[in-house]
Amino acid sequence: MIDADDLIELVRNYNPKTNEKLIRKAYAYGLEMHDGQFRQSGEPYFTHPVSVAAILTEMQLDDATIVTALLHDTIEDTRSTYSEISKTFGKEIAELVDGVTKLTNLQLSSAQTKQAENFRKLFFAMSKDLRVILVKLADRLHNMRTIKSMRLEKQVQKAHETMDIYAPLAGRMGMQWMRDELEDLSFRVLNPEGRNSILRRFITLQRETGDVIQKITRDIRTELDKAGIEADVYGRAKKPYSVWRKMQEKDQGFSRLSDIYGFRVITQSEADCYAVLGAIHQRWRAVPGRFKDYISQPKSNGYRSIHTTVSGRDGKRVEVQIRTREMHEVAEAGVAAHWAYRDGQRAENPFAVDPAQWIAALTERFDNAEDHDEFLEHVRMEMYSDQVFCFTPKGEVVKLPRGATPLDFAYAIHTRIGDSCVGAKVDAIRVPLWTRLKNGQSVEIITAEGQRPQATWIEIVATGRAKAAIRRSLREEDRQRFEKLGKELARVAFEHIGRRATEKALTTAAKHMGLADSGELLARLGAAEITARDVIRTLYPDLPDKQGGEIDSAHAVVGLKGEQSFQRAPCCQPVPGERIVGITFRGKGVVIHAIDCPALEEYEHQPARWIDLRWHSGQHQPVHDVSLDLTISNDAGVLGRLCTQIGEQKANISDLRFVDRKPDFYRLIVDVELRDTEHLHAVMLALEADSDVATIDRHRDPTRKL
């Protein structure tokens, strides 16, 4: 284990003015708190926080971050508390340690909804102080380096989590070295044979061709000496996972893969970068389409460099990155360069981005996401996307993720431009809106007054900003139609209980349901986000659910044993009057299916779970949801009239959703609350008789489960 003196020396190497007393105090405190604790490898637990601190010294971070690394597990795993750390080390360090603790407790899951919520929390924690995530990334890196001591299933879980979340996050923050190592360590766990095969092929290649890296490095240095350019040249073979990913993406074998070596030229000035580029292109032929100038068009995390791929020695493709020393520091540390030291001073690197501005730009578009899936979609787009740079007709640069379309370009300029887009020209040629843009193209957006976004645009665009704007516009456009539909649904529901849907009643209901006004309530009612029954129950909580002589819905089935509870199967939605059978479930009671439900085949070989049931005779309550599949004319007033007809049959609409919309017809699923099969037939007959109903069927979904 690194002792306190060695750790302080690592910090003093880049920050001679370090607060040695503070680091030594944190070291002693952490050692005391973790005394008697051991890692699964058998080592003292404190070896882990010290190793995390050492990783952060490689990034030349400030004292507060180093101290946080030493203490990052104390609140979670020892008797230490936030208040004690705040009192001993100050509020700044206590906040950082608490932030890391909260990130650790997120328990990031592969379940999509939960993962989206965890990403939201993760970005919130980052927004308070980005150093929290730097400590967490270093923590994960050390855990991955020592992962072999874990159980195999735990290794696989952590490797997946690292590959899905932490590695791309490190890349997004500009710490490509950390992303490469995290991916490769995960690759070692998830596909050890694949990784070993890449390493074996590298060894074979080196045996056959000699040390290619040393030869090409010497060739580049020779060309720079001829041009009189002072620069450092470094070469390396790419990480096994990077090579494997290229093989999968290009569907090529190792022998056909060309750019498996990477070289870096570090210059004294920006002008020298372009001089190096000229010297390399004069000596070797450039590969078309493999040139990127991130100096003139930097990435959002501050990354600047020139990338070019050339056909080098023996025709092998070689990628060369060219940048200045300051650019290299940002390329290595990414956003963390904001806290880095150089020559004993806090480095004022002109290329380092302000972390507050970076995280604000990253999270800005996430604020408009209305559900977990949409938020997660935005996160993945931001984390994994490379960038393309396109130009407006006036020569202004627009940054977009790879795969972006002219619609994304339009929305990147202004939401109004995107909403009114009717076409686009790329390099002066008219192209479809789904065209994928490439680096350096000039894009002109054609707009028309009165144009509105189409629902199909959501599938075309690639940016979260465009998707959010399109969804928002579609919601606004639908609001008036939903309000009208909601008004009709409310009228029918209120008449069903002998009351009127007055403006005062609707406003009161909206207030109690936490909605802005009656218009918002009607729009949500029409969009099936709330049901008419919700509104009625809000206003009249004491209104009885049944009338005299009706069978209690909780005791509507005969044949259950003792206090067995039952639920209707959502796949077949059985109603009184149909033959039924029960299937027992541990923890769910009995699930009732119609006797002809296809889902029953699943239980054919489990006869012990079957129960013979029947409905009580008599009048049942109208509480049994049945889904109806309707295709109706797309004409004014049709939907409202059909809702009225359902209400006239003393049935309540509990939900309504559109499945397909065409210029002349709508297809929709209507959930209706019914008493029994006779009630169902009466409703279907009334609707079928309407001339604007093209088809009507009972909708059953065998894939629906409880």
Q: What is the per-residue pLDDT for 546?
A: 46
Together in a domain, 251 and 170? no
How far apart are alpha carbons 597 and 364 in whole angstroms? 48
Report the interhelical angle of 270-283 vs 212-227 (nearest 10°): 110
Set 9, 20, 77, 223: catalytic member: 77
Residue-number span of the structural domain to which 697 is assigned: 552-706
Together in a domain, 525 and 621? no
Pairing between strand 317-324 and 341-342?
unpaired
Q: What is the per-residue pLDDT for 335?
A: 66
Set 9, 20, 43, 76: catalytic member: 76
Give me the CATH number covering residue 156: 1.10.3210.10
User: Quick one: tokens of 702?
Assistant: 């065998």
Domain contains 212: yes
Together in a domain, 208 and 334? yes
Domain contains 454: no
Q: What is the per-residue pLDDT for 111?
A: 45
Together in a domain, 649 and 705? yes
Can you point out the beta strands (E) in 280-380? 285-286, 292-293, 306-311, 317-324, 341-342, 345-346
Together in a domain, 30 and 88? yes
Mind listing the pLDDT tens digit for each residue in 146-163? 998 888 888 998 998 888
Give me the CATH number covering residue 614: 3.30.70.260
Dihedral angle over CA of 651, 657, 662, 663, nearest 10: 60
**Is 92 tagged catalytic?**
no
Residue reference for tokens 């909403």: 419
pLDDT at 547 over 50: no
DSSP state of 38: B
Closest CA to 223 of 182, 305, 279: 279
Q: What is the pTM of this model?
A: 0.53
Report the interhelical angle of 91-104 vs 112-128 (nearest 10°): 170
* DSSP one-letter string for 389-445: EEE-TT--EEEEETT--HHHHHHHH-HHHHHTEEEEEETTEEE-TTPPP-TT-BEEE
**Is 76 tagged catalytic?**
yes
Average pLDDT, the chain: 82
Q: How far is CA 210 from CA 199, 207, 217, 242, in A?
A: 15, 6, 13, 22
Mind listing the pLDDT tens digit for each residue in 44-75? 999 999 999 999 998 888 899 999 999 999 98
How far apart are alpha carbons 654 and 530 in whole angstroms? 8
Least-confidence region, from 174-183, 320-329, 473-482, 589-598 = 473-482
Q: What is the per-residue pLDDT for 252?
A: 54
Domain contains 323: yes
Domain contains 426: no
